Every structure is written in structure tokens, then in C-alpha cells.
Structure 1
Amino acid sequence: MAFVKRFYRAVSLYPLLLLLAGMLASASSHALLPAAMGSGDPLPSLAPMLKSVNPAVVNISTYTTRNVQQNPLLNDPFFRHFFNVPEQQMRPRQRRTQSAGSGVIIDAGAGTVLTNHHVIDGADEITVALEDGRSFKAELIGSDPDVDIAVLKIEAKNLSEVELADSDKLQVGDFVVAIGNPFGLGQTVTTGIVSALGRTGLGIEGYENFIQTDASINPGNSGGALVNLRGELVGVNTAILAPSGGNVGIGFAIPANMAMASIDQILTHGEVRRGQLGVIIQDLTSELAEAFDIKPGQRGAVVAEVQDDSAADKAGIKAGDVVVEVDGKAVLSSAQLRNAIGLRRVGDKVKLTLLRDGKEKTVKATLESAKKQVEADQRAVHPLLDGVGLKNSDDNKGVVVTEVKVDSPAVGKLQPGDILVSVNQRRVRSVSELQAAAGTNADGMLLRVIRGRFASWVVLKK
């Protein structure tokens, strides 16, 4: 979505009277410790809760060195000679930039800090500043770009930490408090409510299940804490909807449970080993429900394709099956199914309830590593296509490129959606034909590529 922006940020001030009324109804909350008015009557306040939480919310500064793009005319030897351009101007120039964000200490003893991946992405140096004025160089333990989570470590004593809440128990209407470092101003607190849950389809992350809130989130608050009135972490502030470029009271946070699913793996393995079912899915629309003879109003995810020898294939799942439950929890959309599977580990077992030919069926699947499957397939095809995802086209006219990894020899030459129709001037219609046509020459490969309505030749070299 074009108007959704990520920021280094936290949501609009909610009407104070409404907040106070809500807190008065919850006398057990730590936030309700009274401050004395002049008349002696108690005054509800968030201050007691914030005194315990604020020390665990940190400011993050990142420093990045980037090459400055020079005028392309300087690449022309004739231009340089004609205008007598000094040689020193041809040397690569670099610029050091600084950005600000926020983070949350989730383990005081280990110095573990949680933040957004986009806050530290590409940073050469990361500094964590505490509320008490201390600052420390941080080590990046690992990150999960698909969820937009990163884990840092600092060597420090006398730290505070935020307790984690079960974000699955969060309800629309619950009061929340956003804490972070908006616009680099320093630690700032804003309040609001949970406006919606399970927001997907925003195009911000690979896996989306956002908490929507009207607590003000602004640039610099990304990675900051979204806490409940007990001071427990319910989410990590991540993005805002900004059609006019500013805050309009629609902010998004990653649920704490979703973040912890990635954090646990990062702390254990240094990376996320995401399990895969091996299916292509889509929402169950009313038209598809009618076509599959499914009762109106049924929700679920339709299996459009099952990958050969995948976890789904081994479990007996077929194209046309409608997944309606995962481990007893209802599946309402394809995005929900993708989240339910994608946040689990390789080797996890899941029980799926399906509708097939109008009848309910239960299957069990053991999730596998898509990374290992893809890499094995590509090594078998050709070294110059390492990191390139390939599959047979549906119309049997060529080989479709499904992904191109950043470390692939084909990066910049091929892109997802390309159709390879010939290799070394030999017509190919399948991955196996491509492998045979590529041969054993690892130094070069000539590809005929269809991209949209246009065809071109692409040369890959070692």
C-alpha cells in the first residue's frame, strides 16, 4: 500500500477523559496508583507504571556508510579527457549517514534488545542509549526481515526489562501506551486504544498480523514499545498509514507473540529457520466456494498448487483442498494460513483440517525447510543459476523464475516473473530440459527471456 510508511518511530493522543475513565474502572492496575490533588482526592496517572517501563525502552542510533553516486558522464573517457577532469574526482566518494529509532530491552541479564529490522538494516555501527544517559555499542545477533524484527546485544549492568504479555489475549478497545524516540526528540509517551487486530494485506512485511492503534506513532518510534496498562509488552511499533505524509491516527505494531516466535530462533540459531508447507494458496471467495460446492459463508484458504515432494505433498494435500483449520484454530484467509505456518520452525508438526469434495478431512504434516529444497534444486540445474527459483510454467511454454536471491550470479539479469524459453539457443519447456541444455559449462550461459510482452537475450557469466 503506497501510503503505508515505515519509520524510526510510536500513535495520536487519545482523549484523556476517556482514558482516565477506563483506568478508574480497573483499580487493580499499576497505572492507577494515585497522585494527590490539592483537595486530597486521588488522581489517576500512568506515571507509576511508566517509571518501571521507561528505563527498558531505548533510543537506537545507526551509522551507515554509503557510496555517493557520481555523474554518469564521468564514466566516459572522452568526456574526462575533453574537460580535463582530475583523477581524484574519479575516486569513489562515501557519505556517512545517521538514523534514529527505538528499541526495547527484553532480557536485562543478557542485555538483549528488540527492535525493527528496518531500523538497523545496512548499519555499520549501532549505538543504544538508555534513559539514564548511558550509551553502548550494540552487536547485531540476527534479524528476520520478513517479520521486521531484529535482536541486538549490549554489554551493560543494572538494566531494566519489559515483561512480555500474551498478545493473543489482546482485544479491540484495550488501552495501550506507545513509548519511543519520535523525531529524535528523546523518550516520548503517547496513549490510545487497540483499534483493530489481525491487519494484513498492507504490503509492509512478508508476514503481517498487525495490531492497529491510534496511539501516536511517528518517525523515530519504530522498534519502540507498545505496552498495556500493566506495563507489559504487547507489540513492537512498526509503521503508520500516512496518506498526507503525517500521522492520521492509524499506526501498526507487530504482536509480541509474533515477534517472539522469530526472536527465540534468532537467539538459538542466529537466524530464523522458517518451516514451509509447500503450497500456493489463495482466499476462498464466494465464486470459488460455489465452484467447489462449499456452503455459503465458509471461510478458509484454497490450495492452488502443491509442490512436488513437499511437506504438503507427503501429507496428501491436493490442489483444490480448502484449509479451514490449523491445529484446531479457524483459518479465515490465505494470509492467516501463511502466518500460522510461516511462524513455525522446521520440523514442527501441524494438523490441518481440509474440505475436499464437500467432506471434512484431517491431515498431519511435518514442516520442511524451503531454503534447503530450493538450493538443492538450483545446484542440480547449473552453478550460474544458484539462488534462482525455477518452476515449470503452467502452459508448458518455458521455465518461470520465481525468485532471485541477492547473492545469485543472475542478480540484475533475471527477475521474478521472467520466463526462460531457450538456453544456449536450445528450446526449453521445463526445468529438466533447461538443465540438459545448460550442460556442464560453468563459465557462461545464453538465455532467451520473455518479460511481459517483450523478449530479450541474457548472458550469464562466471
Structure 2
Amino acid sequence: MKPVAAAIIAASVAFAPAVWAETIPESQASEIRLPDFTKLVEENGKGVVNISTVQKAKTLQGFPGLSREEAEIFRRFGFPFPFGPQQTPERRGTGSGFIVSSDGIILTNAHVVEGADELTVRLTDNREFKGKVLGSDKKTDIAVVKIEAKDLPVLKIGSSENLKVGEWVAAIGSPFGLENTVTAGIVSAKSRSLPSDRQYVPFIQTDVAVNPGNSGGPLFNMKGEVVGINSQIFSTSGGFMGLSFSIPIDLAIQIKDQLVKDGHVTRSRIGVGIQSVNQALAEAFGMKTPHGAAITQVEKDGPAAKAKLQEGDIIVSVNGQTIRSANELPIKIATFKPGTTVTLGILREGKEIKVPVTVEAVKDENASNAKPVAQEAQHGKLGIAVKNLSAEELKAQEIESGVLVTDVRDPALRAGIKVNDIILSANGRPVKNTKGLANIIKGAKKVALLVKRGSNRLFIAVDMAK
């Protein structure tokens, strides 16, 4: 199980007057039962496997990270580095998985099998098989393992989309190598985004006891259907602390199908930079509640540009499914096959419109680095000093228009504006020069500024009434 980095946070506790629970009538007491997982375990335990991995000892020549020539220079100057062959010790690991095909297809986590030279899969009847990784995807932490066997017990796949918060769930796995351990709890939340590199995973949060070794094991609903793959825990100690996270099975099956067929995963994109809409931005954009993904940048010649999407547009839905935050947009778009046309709900100038966009395959993007620009300007009611940019400066920044921030005071300072930010638009209107910015904000109490900061773009709401 892969712990999510956590900080210890002190919590204040307020005491309230005691409230006595009402006595439950004897006639009702006999009807109140905690869930019984015995049937679930009896029917599904055999489909869960233990996965043992071995990374063989390796001999590395020279000092890691240095070429032979570089190491020789350090050696001649007497640096106390071990310049001879370096021996890395053998490493062993354990995790869980579950059978999804009777001919030996097994689902697990990518981090369980990562770097493994040998893979051993052990079934509940103690039979052991050598495993082969058919494919893995680090961005969703999904891996597919194949063993040479037939007529294996297969787990029933459910739907994570239909899973409800508060619903009882159970996990089966091998925490600390203790095979076929069963733990249970409830769904605490859905569509969680975690501070990790799993940007395409809307995690299921539960309070099911999950520990190192549970990784890759199934999360069941009360029907005995797999609804998730246990992947991470939130912990300050490395052990279970009541917060565990599972990959939705709907996503896992999509990834599995691609890995089995192609050996790799293809995702889609629309070519926009986005950020979530907070309360301040929602007020600046005239929205009743903060939701959706605000477009901060439209990639030239990308799918969004071809569909005439604009900076300042707010994406509120994809094919009718609501986008609550920016984190949800790439997750939904990634699931579509490249070349698919999706319908985006766009909030533009207070009105919602429908825009068809044809998605394309994700490709590696080389972000450009902005160079420092000269400073000179005059203060205004935003609390910033700005200057116009020359044609050469605009070209260097790869923008058509904008003004450079050279000094910051409140309220802009309080909102997060920084020196050397470039203001591209205000309340959805392009800023061509300093005079244009003054005209746009004239009479406004709140303004949403689209800012270019280095190679990134973001919206910042400034409340000029404070």
C-alpha cells in the first residue's frame, strides 16, 4: 500500500451537552443488524491472490548519476566516493491482486509490480505461478499480470459509478503478507483528488482498514461485486489511520482493456489550461455557485481552439455530466477515444452554450519558459503598477497582447498578484494596453484577471471594494 504524504494537523475539540439516545423498542431491536460479510468472503475469497515480487541484486559500475569521465575528475581531487562497482541488495515486496479472467488475467497496482524481476502469484489453494506483466500504467496505478492457468475463479465486476457515499464495502488482501485478510467499512467520499501523480484517478475514499500489502486487492460492495482497487492510504505513520483510497473499477477496466489489447494506454485531451472556480472567481464571473473549470489558456491549433473555445470560458459539463471542479475535467476527457466528438457545456458571459469538441490523443508538451521582463509603470485602483509590452516582448512571451505588472499593493497583493505577472484579460475581455485595462475595470467592484506567470496561466479574482 502506497502512503500518501501527510502532515500532522492539530484539531480543536468542542464539547457539547450530552444527549441521551432514545431507547429502541424491543420489536425493532431484533431488526437492526450490522452487515454480514461471511457469504461475500466465501464466494469471492478464492478470486483474490497474493503477489510476491523480487528485484534482483545488481552491480552498478561507477558512482550513480556520474559518467565515467566525471567520476574520474572527482577521484583525482580526492573526493571520498566509492568509485568501484556498487552492489545494490536484493529487494522483496508483497501485494495483492484479483482474477478477472479464468485463463489467468489478474488486476493489481502498478506500484506493486514496478521494477520487479520476478513475480510469483499465489492462490488461496497455495498453488504458485510465475507472473508476467502484460502492461502497467503509472498515471492510474493499474497493472495487468498474466499467469499460465485455466479454470480459475473469477470475481464479478460491479459499477463504481453506482456506488453511494455511506454504503458498506469490504476489502480482501494481504496486509503485511497476511493473506486473504478481510476488513470492512463504508464509502466516505467519491471523486477524491490526491496530492500525487495520479491525476487521472477520481479516488473512492473509505474507512476500510487498508495497510501495506493490501495494494492491488479488490474493494467489494455488499453484492459481492468489485467496485474498486485498493491503492493508497493517508497516513502520518505509514499504517492505517482511517483514510484509504481505491481506484474506481470502471476506470480500472478501461485501462485493463487497453493494456491487454495494446500494451499501453491512450488518453485524450482538448488542449486547454484550466483551474477550478472558487467563490471569489464565481462572484467575478457572475455565477451563483462556484463550479466548473475555467479556461486559462487555449492551445494554438488544438481541439479547443478549433472549436472556438476562449480564455475565460467556464466548462460546466461534458456530455451532460456536471464538472464540479477542474480536477474532474481531464479525468472525463481522458476516457474518450481520440477522434470522439464530445459536447461541452460552456458558461460564457453569463450564458450557457453547447460546444462540440473533437478530442485528440495526449502528447508530450514542451512548456516554454518565460524570461524576466523590464519594469516601469503607474499605479491604479487595482493596487498594481503596469506597463505596456513592446512587440518584441510580446513575441518572446508568445502572446498577442497584455500588460506587465511592475509593482503590487493591496487589494491586488492580497489577492495574489505578483510582480512580473502579465495580465492577459480582465473579466473575459483581452487587455491590449494599460489604458484598456483601466477602461475594463472602471466602475467594477470585482475583477477576474487572467494572468500569465512563467509558463502557466491562472485566474485571480481581485475584490476592489475591500
Taking structure 1 as the reference length, the TM-score comes to 0.69
Matches within 5 A, 1:2-17: 2-3=5-6
Distance 2:137 2:338 in 1: 15
> Helix, strand or coil: the match of 1:280?
strand
TM superposition shift of 1:133: 0.6
Pair 341,395 (structure 1): closer, same or farther in 2 beyond 3 Å: farther
Aligned twin of 1:53: 44
AA in 2 matched with 1:309: D
> Helix, strand or coil: the match of 2:304?
helix
User: Does the Cα contact within 8 Å between 1:262 and 1:343 map onto a contact in 2?
Assistant: no
AA in 2 matched with 1:302: A
> Helix, strand or coil: the match of 1:90?
coil
User: Does the Cα contact within 8 Å between 2:159 and 2:250 map onto a contact in 1?
Assistant: yes
The alignment status of 1:138 with 2:165, answered yes or no, reads no
Larger radius of gyration: 2
Taking structure 2 as the reference length, the TM-score comes to 0.68
User: Does the Cα contact within 8 Å between 2:193 and 2:199 map onto a contact in 1?
Assistant: no
Pair 395,261 (structure 1): closer, same or farther in 2 beyond 3 Å: farther
Q: Which runs of 5+ in 1 are unaligned?
A: 5-20, 27-31, 33-43, 375-387, 398-427, 432-451, 454-462
Distance 1:124 1:303 in 2: 44
Matches within 5 A, 1:193-232: 193-203=186-196, 205-232=198-225
Moved more, 89-98 or 300-309: 89-98
Pair 395,333 (structure 1): closer, same or farther in 2 beyond 3 Å: farther
1:336-384 CA-partner distances (Å, limit 9, x unpaired): 112111232222221101011111111111111232xx4xxxxxxxxxx
Distance 1:389 1:56 in 2: 44
Distance 1:203 1:118 in 2: 13
User: Does the Cα contact within 8 Å between 2:133 and 2:144 map onto a contact in 1?
Assistant: yes
Distance 2:349 2:53 in 1: 55
Aligned twin of 1:429: 396
Q: Which runs of 5+ in 2 are unaligned?
A: 8-27, 375-394, 399-452, 455-466
User: Does the Cα contact within 8 Å between 2:346 and 2:354 map onto a contact in 1?
Assistant: yes
- Residue of 249, 256, 276 corresponding to 1:263: 256
Residue identity over aligned pairs, in percent, reads 40
> Helix, strand or coil: the match of 1:60?
strand
Pair 95,329 (structure 1): closer, same or farther in 2 beyond 3 Å: same
Count of residues in Structure 1 that have an aligned counterpart in Structure 2: 351
Aligned twin of 1:390: 367
AA in 2 matched with 1:98: R
> Helix, strand or coil: the match of 1:194?
strand
AA in 2 matched with 1:55: K
Aligned twin of 2:94: 100
User: Does the Cα contact within 8 Å between 1:194 and 1:211 map onto a contact in 2?
Assistant: yes
- Residue of 92, 102, 114 corresponding to 1:121: 114
The alignment status of 1:323 with 2:304, answered yes or no, reads no
Distance 1:430 1:343 in 2: 33
> Helix, strand or coil: the match of 2:143?
strand
TM superposition shift of 1:215: 1.2
Matches within 5 A, 1:362-401: 362-371=354-363, 374=364, 389-391=366-368, 393=370
1:106-155 CA-partner distances (Å, limit 9, x unpaired): 1113x110001111111112111111111111111111111111111111
Pair 206,65 (structure 1): closer, same or farther in 2 beyond 3 Å: farther
AA in 2 matched with 1:429: A
Aligned twin of 1:10: none
| Root mean square deviation, CA, Å | 3.3
User: Does the Cα contact within 8 Å between 1:61 and 1:127 map onto a contact in 2?
Assistant: yes
Distance 1:191 1:170 in 2: 15
Distance 1:152 1:175 in 2: 29
The higher relative CO (CA closer than 8 Å, separation ≥ 6) is in 1
User: Does the Cα contact within 8 Å between 1:396 and 1:429 map onto a contact in 2?
Assistant: no
Matches within 5 A, 1:323-342: 323-342=315-334
